[in-house]
Amino acid sequence: MRNDEKPAIVVGAGPAGLCAAIELKKAGAPVVLMDENAKPGGQLFKQIHKFFGSQEHKAGIRGFDIGKELLAESLRLGIDVRLKTEVVGIELGLKVWAVEDRTKSYTLDAGKLILATGATENALSFPGWTLPGVMTAGCAQTLINVHRVLPGKRILMVGSGNVGVIVAYQLMQAGAQVAAVIEALPRLGGYGVHTAKVRRAGVPFYCSTTIIRAEGAESVERAVIASIDAKFQPIPGTEQILDVDTICLAVGLTPSIELSCLAECKQIYIPELGGNMPAHDEYMRSSNQSVYVVGDIAGVEEASTAMEEGRLAGIHAAWAMGYMDDQTMKIKTDETRGRLQALRQGIFGQKRFAAKERILAMRKDA
Protein backbone atom coordinates (compact mmCIF):
# COMPACT_ATOMS: atom_id res chain seq x y z
CA MET A 1 0.00 0.00 0.00
CA ARG A 2 2.85 2.38 0.78
CA ASN A 3 4.01 3.88 -2.45
CA ASP A 4 6.86 5.94 -1.17
CA GLU A 5 9.20 5.72 1.81
CA LYS A 6 10.63 9.18 1.29
CA PRO A 7 9.45 11.44 4.11
CA ALA A 8 6.91 14.16 3.79
CA ILE A 9 8.83 17.40 4.29
CA VAL A 10 7.02 20.27 5.95
CA VAL A 11 8.65 23.70 5.57
CA GLY A 12 7.68 26.15 8.31
CA ALA A 13 6.86 25.18 11.91
CA GLY A 14 4.16 27.79 12.52
CA PRO A 15 0.63 26.68 13.43
CA ALA A 16 -0.04 25.40 9.89
CA GLY A 17 3.18 23.40 9.54
CA LEU A 18 3.02 21.96 13.07
CA CYS A 19 -0.54 20.72 12.54
CA ALA A 20 0.33 19.20 9.14
CA ALA A 21 3.33 17.38 10.63
CA ILE A 22 1.27 16.14 13.61
CA GLU A 23 -1.42 14.64 11.33
CA LEU A 24 1.21 12.93 9.16
CA LYS A 25 3.04 11.50 12.16
CA LYS A 26 -0.18 10.37 13.86
CA ALA A 27 -0.98 8.39 10.70
CA GLY A 28 2.46 6.77 10.89
CA ALA A 29 3.99 8.57 7.91
CA PRO A 30 7.66 9.60 8.01
CA VAL A 31 7.84 13.37 8.34
CA VAL A 32 10.56 15.99 8.64
CA LEU A 33 9.60 19.48 9.82
CA MET A 34 12.04 22.31 9.03
CA ASP A 35 12.05 25.90 10.29
CA GLU A 36 14.62 28.66 10.04
CA ASN A 37 14.05 29.79 13.64
CA ALA A 38 15.65 28.45 16.81
CA LYS A 39 12.19 27.68 18.22
CA PRO A 40 9.12 26.31 16.45
CA GLY A 41 5.71 28.04 16.62
CA GLY A 42 5.95 30.71 13.92
CA GLN A 43 3.88 33.75 14.89
CA LEU A 44 2.07 31.92 17.74
CA PHE A 45 4.57 32.80 20.45
CA LYS A 46 4.01 36.51 19.84
CA GLN A 47 0.27 36.19 20.33
CA ILE A 48 -0.65 36.89 23.93
CA HIS A 49 -4.35 37.55 23.29
CA LYS A 50 -7.09 34.94 23.60
CA PHE A 51 -8.40 33.21 20.48
CA PHE A 52 -11.98 33.36 19.19
CA GLY A 53 -14.28 30.61 17.94
CA SER A 54 -15.61 27.62 19.82
CA GLN A 55 -13.94 25.33 22.31
CA GLU A 56 -12.72 23.04 19.54
CA HIS A 57 -11.05 26.10 17.97
CA LYS A 58 -9.24 26.75 21.26
CA ALA A 59 -11.31 29.85 21.97
CA GLY A 60 -10.26 31.62 25.14
CA ILE A 61 -6.74 30.17 24.97
CA ARG A 62 -3.82 32.49 24.28
CA GLY A 63 -1.73 31.99 21.12
CA PHE A 64 1.47 31.10 22.96
CA ASP A 65 -0.35 28.45 25.01
CA ILE A 66 -1.67 26.91 21.77
CA GLY A 67 1.92 26.98 20.53
CA LYS A 68 3.08 25.17 23.68
CA GLU A 69 0.36 22.50 23.24
CA LEU A 70 1.35 21.88 19.62
CA LEU A 71 5.03 21.66 20.55
CA ALA A 72 4.30 19.21 23.35
CA GLU A 73 2.33 17.04 20.94
CA SER A 74 5.02 17.11 18.28
CA LEU A 75 7.61 16.13 20.92
CA ARG A 76 5.39 13.35 22.25
CA LEU A 77 4.97 11.98 18.73
CA GLY A 78 8.72 12.20 18.13
CA ILE A 79 8.52 14.32 14.99
CA ASP A 80 11.91 14.98 13.37
CA VAL A 81 11.96 18.77 13.86
CA ARG A 82 14.97 20.50 12.31
CA LEU A 83 15.38 24.03 13.64
CA LYS A 84 17.73 26.78 12.41
CA THR A 85 17.20 25.08 9.06
CA GLU A 86 16.32 27.30 6.15
CA VAL A 87 14.96 25.79 2.97
CA VAL A 88 16.66 27.68 0.17
CA GLY A 89 15.74 25.66 -2.89
CA ILE A 90 13.43 23.04 -4.35
CA GLU A 91 14.12 20.88 -7.36
CA LEU A 92 11.23 19.32 -9.18
CA GLY A 93 11.08 15.67 -8.49
CA LEU A 94 11.14 16.67 -5.22
CA LYS A 95 14.50 17.54 -3.76
CA VAL A 96 14.65 20.05 -0.93
CA TRP A 97 17.78 22.16 -0.39
CA ALA A 98 18.31 23.08 3.23
CA VAL A 99 20.92 25.14 5.07
CA GLU A 100 21.41 24.28 8.73
CA ASP A 101 22.83 26.80 11.18
CA ARG A 102 23.89 28.97 8.24
CA THR A 103 26.88 26.67 7.73
CA LYS A 104 25.87 23.17 6.62
CA SER A 105 23.89 22.61 3.44
CA TYR A 106 22.29 19.35 2.37
CA THR A 107 19.51 17.99 0.18
CA LEU A 108 16.68 15.64 1.09
CA ASP A 109 14.22 13.88 -1.22
CA ALA A 110 10.58 14.38 -0.28
CA GLY A 111 7.66 12.01 -0.84
CA LYS A 112 5.33 14.97 -0.42
CA LEU A 113 6.15 18.59 0.30
CA ILE A 114 4.02 20.83 2.50
CA LEU A 115 4.86 24.51 2.30
CA ALA A 116 3.79 26.42 5.42
CA THR A 117 6.07 29.42 5.08
CA GLY A 118 3.61 32.07 6.31
CA ALA A 119 3.50 35.68 5.18
CA THR A 120 5.71 38.76 5.14
CA GLU A 121 4.64 42.15 6.47
CA ASN A 122 4.17 44.92 3.92
CA ALA A 123 6.18 48.11 4.23
CA LEU A 124 5.29 51.70 3.40
CA SER A 125 7.77 54.26 2.15
CA PHE A 126 7.55 57.95 3.05
CA PRO A 127 10.15 60.64 3.76
CA GLY A 128 11.98 59.64 6.94
CA TRP A 129 10.95 55.98 6.81
CA THR A 130 14.56 54.80 7.20
CA LEU A 131 14.96 56.59 10.56
CA PRO A 132 15.44 54.29 13.55
CA GLY A 133 12.06 54.03 15.23
CA VAL A 134 10.11 53.15 12.07
CA MET A 135 9.30 49.44 12.12
CA THR A 136 6.58 46.97 11.21
CA ALA A 137 3.97 46.14 13.84
CA GLY A 138 5.17 42.53 13.83
CA CYS A 139 8.67 43.74 14.66
CA ALA A 140 7.30 45.71 17.65
CA GLN A 141 5.26 42.64 18.68
CA THR A 142 8.37 40.44 18.55
CA LEU A 143 10.33 42.97 20.62
CA ILE A 144 7.72 43.23 23.39
CA ASN A 145 6.31 39.71 23.53
CA VAL A 146 9.36 37.60 22.68
CA HIS A 147 12.37 39.70 23.74
CA ARG A 148 10.65 41.82 26.43
CA VAL A 149 12.01 45.06 24.95
CA LEU A 150 9.80 48.14 24.61
CA PRO A 151 10.61 49.70 21.22
CA GLY A 152 9.58 53.22 22.27
CA LYS A 153 7.46 55.28 24.65
CA ARG A 154 5.09 57.10 22.28
CA ILE A 155 3.79 55.19 19.30
CA LEU A 156 1.95 56.01 16.10
CA MET A 157 0.24 52.93 14.64
CA VAL A 158 -0.31 53.09 10.89
CA GLY A 159 -3.13 50.68 9.98
CA SER A 160 -6.27 49.75 11.92
CA GLY A 161 -6.59 46.09 10.88
CA ASN A 162 -6.33 43.30 13.44
CA VAL A 163 -2.54 43.34 13.54
CA GLY A 164 -2.53 47.14 14.07
CA VAL A 165 -5.06 47.21 16.90
CA ILE A 166 -3.82 44.04 18.62
CA VAL A 167 -0.22 45.27 18.61
CA ALA A 168 -1.33 48.79 19.69
CA TYR A 169 -3.06 47.24 22.71
CA GLN A 170 -0.10 45.02 23.52
CA LEU A 171 2.26 48.02 23.35
CA MET A 172 0.05 49.79 25.90
CA GLN A 173 0.06 46.68 28.10
CA ALA A 174 3.87 46.75 27.88
CA GLY A 175 3.94 50.36 29.10
CA ALA A 176 3.97 52.50 25.94
CA GLN A 177 1.55 55.27 25.09
CA VAL A 178 -0.19 55.06 21.72
CA ALA A 179 -0.59 58.59 20.34
CA ALA A 180 -2.97 57.54 17.55
CA VAL A 181 -4.02 54.79 15.16
CA ILE A 182 -4.40 56.08 11.60
CA GLU A 183 -6.18 54.35 8.72
CA ALA A 184 -6.13 55.28 5.02
CA LEU A 185 -9.57 53.80 4.36
CA PRO A 186 -12.71 55.66 5.47
CA ARG A 187 -13.51 52.83 7.92
CA LEU A 188 -11.65 50.83 10.56
CA GLY A 189 -10.34 47.40 9.62
CA GLY A 190 -9.98 45.25 12.77
CA TYR A 191 -12.45 43.14 14.73
CA GLY A 192 -14.66 45.36 16.94
CA VAL A 193 -13.57 43.56 20.10
CA HIS A 194 -9.90 44.45 19.56
CA THR A 195 -10.60 47.99 18.33
CA ALA A 196 -12.92 48.73 21.25
CA LYS A 197 -10.23 47.88 23.82
CA VAL A 198 -7.86 50.42 22.28
CA ARG A 199 -10.59 53.06 21.97
CA ARG A 200 -11.65 52.57 25.57
CA ALA A 201 -8.08 53.35 26.59
CA GLY A 202 -8.55 56.80 25.02
CA VAL A 203 -6.46 56.31 21.87
CA PRO A 204 -7.69 58.48 18.98
CA PHE A 205 -8.43 56.73 15.67
CA TYR A 206 -8.22 58.80 12.46
CA CYS A 207 -9.76 57.31 9.29
CA SER A 208 -9.01 58.62 5.75
CA THR A 209 -5.62 59.63 7.13
CA THR A 210 -2.05 58.80 6.12
CA ILE A 211 1.48 59.45 7.26
CA ILE A 212 3.20 62.24 5.32
CA ARG A 213 6.68 62.01 6.85
CA ALA A 214 8.73 61.03 9.87
CA GLU A 215 11.04 63.66 11.33
CA GLY A 216 13.99 63.51 13.72
CA ALA A 217 17.73 64.14 13.91
CA GLU A 218 19.05 60.68 14.76
CA SER A 219 15.80 58.76 15.16
CA VAL A 220 12.05 59.38 15.01
CA GLU A 221 10.98 62.43 17.04
CA ARG A 222 7.76 63.37 15.24
CA ALA A 223 5.28 62.09 12.67
CA VAL A 224 3.34 64.34 10.33
CA ILE A 225 -0.06 62.95 9.37
CA ALA A 226 -2.79 64.37 7.12
CA SER A 227 -6.30 63.60 5.91
CA ILE A 228 -6.62 62.15 2.42
CA ASP A 229 -9.30 62.44 -0.23
CA ALA A 230 -11.14 59.65 -2.04
CA LYS A 231 -8.11 59.25 -4.34
CA PHE A 232 -5.82 58.83 -1.33
CA GLN A 233 -4.21 62.25 -1.95
CA PRO A 234 -3.28 64.35 1.11
CA ILE A 235 -5.60 67.31 1.65
CA PRO A 236 -3.51 70.49 2.09
CA GLY A 237 -4.01 72.24 5.41
CA THR A 238 -5.01 69.08 7.32
CA GLU A 239 -1.50 68.19 8.53
CA GLN A 240 -1.06 67.36 12.22
CA ILE A 241 2.21 66.83 14.06
CA LEU A 242 2.39 64.00 16.58
CA ASP A 243 5.26 63.78 19.05
CA VAL A 244 6.20 60.10 18.78
CA ASP A 245 9.43 58.13 18.95
CA THR A 246 8.13 55.03 17.18
CA ILE A 247 6.06 54.53 14.04
CA CYS A 248 4.63 51.04 13.57
CA LEU A 249 3.45 49.94 10.14
CA ALA A 250 0.55 47.48 10.09
CA VAL A 251 -0.34 47.75 6.43
CA GLY A 252 -1.02 44.18 5.44
CA LEU A 253 0.70 40.88 4.88
CA THR A 254 1.82 39.20 1.66
CA PRO A 255 2.01 35.39 1.35
CA SER A 256 5.63 34.12 1.30
CA ILE A 257 5.37 32.28 -1.99
CA GLU A 258 9.02 32.02 -3.07
CA LEU A 259 9.40 28.27 -2.52
CA SER A 260 6.06 27.57 -4.21
CA CYS A 261 7.37 29.45 -7.28
CA LEU A 262 10.48 27.25 -7.27
CA ALA A 263 8.18 24.21 -7.14
CA GLU A 264 6.41 25.64 -10.22
CA CYS A 265 3.06 25.93 -8.46
CA LYS A 266 0.60 28.01 -10.46
CA GLN A 267 0.06 31.40 -8.81
CA ILE A 268 -3.17 33.38 -8.65
CA TYR A 269 -3.95 36.91 -7.44
CA ILE A 270 -6.57 37.32 -4.71
CA PRO A 271 -6.29 40.80 -3.16
CA GLU A 272 -8.53 40.01 -0.14
CA LEU A 273 -6.10 37.26 0.91
CA GLY A 274 -2.86 39.19 0.47
CA GLY A 275 -2.13 39.19 -3.30
CA ASN A 276 -0.26 36.47 -5.16
CA MET A 277 -0.55 32.97 -3.78
CA PRO A 278 -0.39 29.40 -5.06
CA ALA A 279 -3.70 28.09 -6.40
CA HIS A 280 -4.88 25.08 -4.41
CA ASP A 281 -7.70 22.56 -4.23
CA GLU A 282 -9.92 21.59 -1.28
CA TYR A 283 -7.14 19.35 0.11
CA MET A 284 -4.68 22.30 -0.05
CA ARG A 285 -2.84 20.64 -2.96
CA SER A 286 -1.19 23.09 -5.34
CA SER A 287 -1.10 22.68 -9.13
CA ASN A 288 1.99 20.53 -8.47
CA GLN A 289 0.18 17.50 -7.06
CA SER A 290 3.05 16.56 -4.74
CA VAL A 291 3.15 20.01 -3.13
CA TYR A 292 0.62 21.29 -0.58
CA VAL A 293 0.35 24.89 0.59
CA VAL A 294 -1.14 25.72 4.01
CA GLY A 295 -1.66 28.70 6.28
CA ASP A 296 -0.77 32.25 5.28
CA ILE A 297 1.09 31.19 2.10
CA ALA A 298 -2.28 29.96 0.80
CA GLY A 299 -4.00 33.28 1.62
CA VAL A 300 -3.52 35.36 4.75
CA GLU A 301 -6.09 34.57 7.44
CA GLU A 302 -5.51 33.68 11.09
CA ALA A 303 -3.65 31.15 13.17
CA SER A 304 -6.82 29.12 13.80
CA THR A 305 -7.61 28.68 10.08
CA ALA A 306 -3.90 28.01 9.40
CA MET A 307 -4.02 25.09 11.85
CA GLU A 308 -7.07 23.53 10.14
CA GLU A 309 -5.53 23.95 6.69
CA GLY A 310 -2.37 22.27 7.99
CA ARG A 311 -4.48 19.37 9.26
CA LEU A 312 -6.28 19.05 5.90
CA ALA A 313 -2.98 18.79 4.03
CA GLY A 314 -1.44 16.44 6.59
CA ILE A 315 -4.41 14.09 6.37
CA HIS A 316 -4.44 14.10 2.57
CA ALA A 317 -0.67 13.68 2.26
CA ALA A 318 -0.74 10.76 4.73
CA TRP A 319 -3.47 9.13 2.60
CA ALA A 320 -1.64 9.84 -0.67
CA MET A 321 1.53 8.27 0.77
CA GLY A 322 -0.43 5.15 1.69
CA TYR A 323 -0.56 5.69 5.46
CA MET A 324 -4.31 6.22 5.79
CA ASP A 325 -7.26 4.31 4.34
CA ASP A 326 -9.93 5.98 2.19
CA GLN A 327 -12.63 5.98 4.84
CA THR A 328 -10.46 7.46 7.60
CA MET A 329 -9.23 10.12 5.21
CA LYS A 330 -12.77 11.05 4.27
CA ILE A 331 -14.04 11.19 7.86
CA LYS A 332 -11.08 13.25 9.10
CA THR A 333 -11.23 15.57 6.09
CA ASP A 334 -14.95 16.21 6.54
CA GLU A 335 -14.47 16.95 10.27
CA THR A 336 -11.63 19.36 9.55
CA ARG A 337 -13.53 21.12 6.77
CA GLY A 338 -16.51 21.53 9.10
CA ARG A 339 -14.33 23.30 11.67
CA LEU A 340 -12.73 25.45 8.97
CA GLN A 341 -16.10 26.54 7.64
CA ALA A 342 -17.28 27.41 11.14
CA LEU A 343 -14.19 29.61 11.56
CA ARG A 344 -14.95 31.43 8.33
CA GLN A 345 -18.30 32.74 9.58
CA GLY A 346 -18.78 36.36 10.63
CA ILE A 347 -18.22 39.54 8.62
CA PHE A 348 -14.47 39.14 8.10
CA GLY A 349 -14.57 35.37 7.85
CA GLN A 350 -17.31 35.44 5.24
CA LYS A 351 -15.29 37.71 2.96
CA ARG A 352 -12.37 35.31 3.21
CA PHE A 353 -14.67 32.32 2.75
CA ALA A 354 -15.92 33.85 -0.50
CA ALA A 355 -12.33 34.47 -1.60
CA LYS A 356 -11.36 30.90 -0.76
CA GLU A 357 -14.34 29.59 -2.74
CA ARG A 358 -13.11 31.65 -5.70
CA ILE A 359 -9.73 29.91 -5.46
CA LEU A 360 -11.39 26.50 -5.58
CA ALA A 361 -13.54 27.55 -8.54
CA MET A 362 -10.47 28.88 -10.41
CA ARG A 363 -8.67 25.61 -9.71
CA LYS A 364 -11.55 23.57 -11.14
CA ASP A 365 -11.63 25.77 -14.26
CA ALA A 366 -7.85 25.44 -14.79
Ligand X SMILES: Cc1cc2nc3c(=O)[nH]c(=O)nc-3n(C[C@H](O)[C@H](O)[C@H](O)COP(=O)(O)OP(=O)(O)OC[C@H]3O[C@@H](n4cnc5c(N)ncnc54)[C@H](O)[C@@H]3O)c2cc1C
The single residue among 7, 10, 15, 278 that binds ligand X, judged by CB under 6 A, is 15
Residue 40 Cβ vs ligand X, minimum distance, rounded to whole Å: 7
Nearer to ligand X, 227 or 314 (CB): 314
**Residue 276 · residue 257 · CB < 8 Å:** yes
Q: How many CB atoms lie within 10 A of CB 248?
A: 30
Binding range to ligand X, per CB under 6 A, among 111-119, 205-213, 233-241, 275-283:
111-119
Q: Residues touching ligand X: how many (CB under 6 A)?
A: 37
- State yes or no: residue 279 binds ligand X (CB under 6 A): no
CA 344 to CA 351: how far, in whole Å? 8
Residue with Cβ nearer ligand X (17 or 128): 17
Q: Is 349 in the site for ligand X (CB under 6 A)?
A: no
Q: Does 166 bind ligand X (CB under 6 A)?
A: yes
Question: How far apart are CB 236 and ligand X at their closest, in Å?
Answer: 34
Question: Binding to ligand X by residue 14, rule CB under 6 A?
Answer: yes
When binding is defined by CB under 6 A, the residue of 7, 12, 252, 274 that contacts ligand X is 12
Per-residue three-class SS string for 236-289: CCCCEEECCCEEEECCCEEECCHHHHHCCCCEEEEHHHCEEEECCCCCCECCCC
Rule CB under 6 A: choose which of 42, 67, 152, 275 binds ligand X.
Answer: 42
Element (H, E) at 95: strand 95-100
Distance from the Cα of residue 67 to its chain's centroid: 14
| Residue 286 binds ligand X, judged by CB under 6 A | no
| Residues in contact with 215: Cβ distance below 8 Å, sequence separation at least 6, in sequence order | 128, 221, 222, 223, 224
Q: In 3-state terms, what secondary structure has residue 319?
A: helix
The reply on whether position 67 binds ligand X by CB under 6 A is: no
Residue 30 touches ligand X, criterion: CB under 6 A:
no
> In what helix (H) or strand (E) does residue 318 lie, and over which residues does it extend?
helix 303-320
Q: Which amino acid is at 308?
A: E
Can you tell me which of 168, 262, 303, 321 binds ligand X, judged by CB under 6 A? 303
Task: Give 111 or 118: the residue with its C-beta nearer to ligand X.
Answer: 118
Piece in contact with ligand X (CB under 6 A), picked from 42-50, 101-109, 222-230, 346-354: 42-50
CB closer to ligand X, 65 vs 215: 65
The helix/strand/coil state of 55 is helix
Q: Does 138 bind ligand X (CB under 6 A)?
A: yes
The yes or no reply on residue 21 touching ligand X (CB under 6 A) is no
Rounded to whole angstroms, the Cα distance separating 176 from 149 reads 11
Q: Does 113 bind ligand X (CB under 6 A)?
A: no
Find out whether 45 and 145 touch, Cβ atoms under 8 Å.
Answer: yes
CA distance 48 to 66: 10
Residues at the site binding ligand X, with contacts judged by CB under 6 A: 11-17, 34-37, 42-43, 47, 49, 86-87, 116-119, 121, 137-138, 141, 162-163, 166, 253, 256, 259, 295-296, 301-303, 306
